[in-house]
Structure 1
Amino acid sequence: MKIRLTLLTAALLLAHQAMANDIPLTQVRDIADTTTPAAESQPFVVLEAQSLAALRQSLQGDASQLTRTQLEHATQTAKQADNAWLKARGYDFRTKENQQVGIELLSGFNALPKPVLDANLQTVEAINRDATRGLRRQALADAEGISYLYFLADALGPKLGEAFLTAYDKGELGKAAALIKASEVSTGVAKKHFDYKRPFLIPGNSIHLVPDDVVVKDNKPYTADGGSFPSGHTNTGYTDALLMAEMIPERFDALLARGARYGYSRVVLGVHYPLDVIGSRMVAERNVAHYLNDAQYRAMFNEARDQLRAALEKECGTTLAQCAQTAGKDDPYRDPAMHDFYRFTMTYNLPQQKGATKAVSVPEGADVLLEAALPKLSASQRRALMVKTALPAGYPLSGATDEQNFWQRLNLSAAYDAAHKTR
């Protein structure tokens, strides 16, 4: 036992030291490009194509062709999402209350100095400018698929991902589909509160809006309205991915990376800054932890999770553990490089305040986010893991409060990775 604890301590120390280094934007781009339709893996490319085709079909419905009007009114079908079940449960998501908590969590945005905001714009300009065709195509699919769960399939691996697409459209995981989407806390109120212009609206910017040749295929440049901070799409993508990771802990790390990757797509399109994405990741993590610590919500969650897992096993024709196994080069979201990518998306290499040393204090119940993925660890061990693998202090949005500091620095990917390296 002493040897095991020593190895865990050493692994955590190495992980903490490694996180202090920035990752070049070109390296990040190359990692992200492996998770696009331009990937070298044929099975992965096929899965991406299946996901896109299913998305376009759902958007089009019974119409003769897909139009932008249909896109604007997209929602999960009654077959895909069991909203009747959800409504019957009568759960109060306390949306307004959680929105105000989110605004307070992100209040450090108002105190950011000009050099950080300048770097914020320069980073989105660089990522948007240098994005590959594959990144742009995936970003468009991510953007237009916000009302559905199709985007999660590629993080499940070729076999489980295909089973997920089949079960989703057959209506076999309707409770999970309804609950996950209902758990998204809109960022609309926060956008109005912070009232920050999107990068492509800043005078003198070099953003190139991306024509849609993927979903609607009308070549209309993808754009967005409303405030920029925080990102609504990232909030959606990260919330959905994190809840799915809690339901399928066999793919926990890959789904975490998918949530981060979804946010990166917003920067690729030039419609959001890095800080918009970072802020939404913080709020989404807090919201999911909040819900999972509520007994009434947890009862619904468990019911939805059990239905989801049974449906996936049925479609896989084998156990979920076997169906979720890593598929080597055909499983890019399981590539170790995705841990580097995830860490990058926590800061986007924005300036760090030198000398910042504020200690990490784990809010009560936050360790629930690692409970399903690391069931052999106690709550205190999970909290210790969160502290040891936290992002270094001083990055933007870490703010002045313990809550701001924790949610900005929480690195679930590093915590999961460090725990598994000691096995």
Structure 2
Amino acid sequence: MKIRLTLIAATLLLAQQAQAVSLPQAAALANGTSPASASQAFDALEAQSLQAEINALKGGAATLTRGQLDKASQNDTQSDKAWLKASGYDFQTKANQQAGIELLSGFSKLPDSTLQASLQTVTAINCDATQGVRHQALADAEGISYLYFLADAMGPRLGKAFLTAYDKGEIGKAAALIKASEVSTSAAKKHFNYSRPFLIKGNTIHLVPDDTVVKDNQPYTADGGSFPSGHTNTGYTDALLMAQMIPERYDSLVERGARYGYSRIVLGVHYPLDIMGSRMVTQRNVAHYLNDPRYVTLFNEAKDQLRAALEKECGTTLAECAKTVGHDDPYRSPDMKQFYRFTMSYGLAKQQGASQPLSVPAGAEVLLQSALPHLSAEKRRQLMVKTALPAGYPLSGNTPEQAFWQRLDLPAAYALGKSERTH
């Protein structure tokens, strides 16, 4: 009977994940994780996070001006840069940047029909966005140098504890390591040299005025190439590493990375393809670091400090503090897994051609290790294959690595692994 229930649960989960989410449905889910949500507790956490971000951007100044944004970075209280520097760890940035360019080489072979569909999708999301979603997008954009955006994916209770611990300097090692682990997309942007959507001739993108962070109503814009997205690379990296450190909120944090990428489309400064590409390289980069013993030593030290600080601020165990809080915890809604699935393709059409069996790169299963520690490496690899996006969507390319990193659905793999254990 137990085996039968396990199979039934797994089948239902896979069937649910296969259901397509439409563009309007995805927009509604995004709205539910913005300051326009139906939960007063969640909205209060969003407001607290935004105010903390504004205070950090201002520094010691009385007011926030646009010129301060370019100089923004975690201060010495928030981030223990001295600890990280003393470690002497080499992040191998250039090598990882080159690996990212190779991973995304399929972009150059995409047909014009896919590029046009990508432009149509960003236009639809941008023009139809609610005010709450636009406010969230602005907060996400201007807070790129900080970790504040992660709080709402932790739930009202743990989220507040996180904001307190962060600004008190109690999680300085995690703050330093996570931000240093972001592999810049600048080399890839120069390589692919693709124009942003709001610069395409005849576009109908609505540039969003900043009435949220600087509050000067200046339309938000961005410089440099569009593919892949640098902000999304930051958001996914931060969210995925934090998910490894707080596996009690694993799925919510990974989904926050996808929601952060969605914000870039809302602002009209990136295409879906840019977001999809950044997700691919981020997953690859984080797995690369987590398979390096020297990095893991730093990671564990930072993780231990983070978890101890959060328990102190919560006044209880992390497991208790991280518990789901009903409608006040929208990132714990099962629908967010379908939102994540949507952001893996944004509804773009599959490409023609025969598909190859999915091959899991060596070490990729480390991305599920902290979340599913009871499972063997082989079992985690099997989960990745079982829950993968179907073959053929844009950027899945011609190599096993390109196909895997494009098709990897971490929240679905986690949910199936958790379901099989429960039943």
TM-score interval, smaller chain = over 0.9
What corresponds to 1:41 in structure 2?
39
- 1:353 positional shift: 2.6
**Counterpart check, 1:245 vs 2:243:** yes
What corresponds to 1:236 in structure 2?
234
What corresponds to 2:296 in structure 1?
298
**Normalized against structure 1, the TM-score is what?**
0.98
Alignment: residue pair count: 421
- SS of structure 1 residue aligned to 2:90: coil
- SS of structure 2 residue aligned to 1:254: helix
What corresponds to 1:389 in structure 2?
387
2:330 to 329, 332, 349: 332
- SS of structure 2 residue aligned to 1:203: coil
- Alignment check: 8 A CA contact 1:187 1:232 kept: yes
Cα distance change, pair 118–71 in 1 and its aligned pair in 2 (3 A): same
What corresponds to 1:351 in structure 2?
349
What corresponds to 1:370 in structure 2?
368
- Alignment check: 8 A CA contact 1:15 1:389 kept: no
What corresponds to 1:417 in structure 2?
415
**Normalized against structure 2, the TM-score is what?**
0.98
What corresponds to 1:187 in structure 2?
185
- 1:358 positional shift: 1.7
- 1:15 positional shift: 4.1
- 1:47 positional shift: 0.5
What corresponds to 2:274 in structure 1?
276
**Counterpart check, 1:149 vs 2:147:** yes
Query: Within 1, Cα distance between the matches of 2:159 and 2:87?
Result: 29
- 1:418 positional shift: 1.4
Query: What amino acid maps onto 2:331 in structure 1?
Result: Y
- Alignment check: 8 A CA contact 1:19 1:391 kept: no
Cα distance change, pair 96–355 in 1 and its aligned pair in 2 (3 A): closer
Query: Within 1, Cα distance between the matches of 2:401 and 2:4?
Result: 30
| Residue correspondence of structure 1 range 41-60 to structure 2 within 5 A | 41-60=39-58
- Alignment check: 8 A CA contact 2:39 2:328 kept: yes
| Residue correspondence of structure 1 range 207-222 to structure 2 within 5 A | 207-222=205-220
The answer for unaligned runs of 5 or more in structure 2 is none
Query: Within 1, Cα distance between the matches of 2:5 and 2:184?
Result: 42
Q: Identity of paired residues, percent?
A: 69
Query: Within 2, Cα distance between the matches of 1:416 and 1:77?
Result: 34
**Counterpart check, 1:307 vs 2:305:** yes
- Alignment check: 8 A CA contact 1:200 1:271 kept: yes
Query: Within 2, Cα distance between the matches of 1:365 and 1:208?
Result: 42
Coordinate RMSD, CA, aligned: 1.2
- Alignment check: 8 A CA contact 2:10 2:419 kept: no
1:77 to 75, 78, 83: 75
- SS of structure 1 residue aligned to 2:382: helix
Query: Within 2, Cα distance between the matches of 1:97 and 1:68?
Result: 34
Structure 1 residues 107-131: Cα deviation after superposition (integer angstroms, max 9, x where no partner): 0001111111110000000000110
Query: What amino acid maps onto 2:67 in structure 1?
Result: T
Query: Within 1, Cα distance between the matches of 2:392 and 2:181?
Result: 30
The answer for unaligned runs of 5 or more in structure 1 is none
Structure 1 residues 73-106: Cα deviation after superposition (integer angstroms, max 9, x where no partner): 1000000000000000000000000000000000
